[in-house]
Amino acid sequence: MKAKALREKREAELAQAASNTSQPATGAKRSFASMASNQPANMRDASASNRPLDSIQPARNFTKFVDYDFSKMTDTKGGFLTQEDDPFNKQLHVTDGKEVQKPANMTQKEWERHQILQNLKRNREGPYEPGLSVLDDKSKQKKCRECSSLEIDWKWEEELKCCICHACKEKYPEKYSLLTKTEAKEDYLLTDREYLNITL
């Protein structure tokens, strides 16, 4: 106990002597207050500046290498950029002949709903299916050529001028199955010019 008391007394004396000379004793730590009071005048404190992020600019030599502001980017959770984040990337803005890109003012949910409605309209299904009215003239009503049903496949009627219902298409596949263009060329020995003129 005596030895421990002597050691604590010696450390206290060394700490007091170090605070008077502003030099830490060998093996002793400096206090935070002593470090904070001895800061050089040219030391920069980033936490003290309340500059907005927009005012921070890259160094003049590196402006051509800085492309993206990560604080304003959308997190896609996949590590890739969206069209809004990278407006100058030509690869992101390539549109196929058939596929239409989502407009910038639409949310993803609105775009999916729009695509579903366009698909229903194209196939004349759901709310876009032509109505069957009992008030129509019987001679003008279109009927299935096999079972005389009024519920025909309107896409077949428009494109192929063939009034057939879905049930009869499945019932008679040998009559109403379709061929691909390649199968038609091989089966019917079409020339290249005839092959290119096939619409289906």
Residue 82: pLDDT band (50, 70, 90) is confident
In the prediction, which pLDDT does 64 show? Answer: 65
Mean pLDDT over residues 82-102, rounded?
64
50 or 153, which is more confident? 153
DSSP codes, the chain: -HHHHHHHHHHHHHHHHHHHHTSPPTTPPPPHHHHHHT--TT---TTT----GGG----GGGTTT----GGGS---SSS---TTT-TT-TTTT---SSPPPPPTTS-HHHHHHHHHHHHHHHHT-GGGSPP--TTS-TTTS---TTT--S-B-HHHHHHH----BHHHHHH-HHHH----HHHHHHHHT--HHHHHT---
Mean pLDDT over residues 152-170, rounded?
87
In the prediction, which pLDDT does 132 show? Answer: 66
Share of the chain above pLDDT 90, in %: 10
Share of the chain above pLDDT 70, in %: 60
In the prediction, which pLDDT does 130 show? Answer: 75
Average per-residue pLDDT for the chain: 76
Residue 65 predicted with pLDDT over 90 = no
Closest CA to 67 of 83, 94, 52, 88: 88
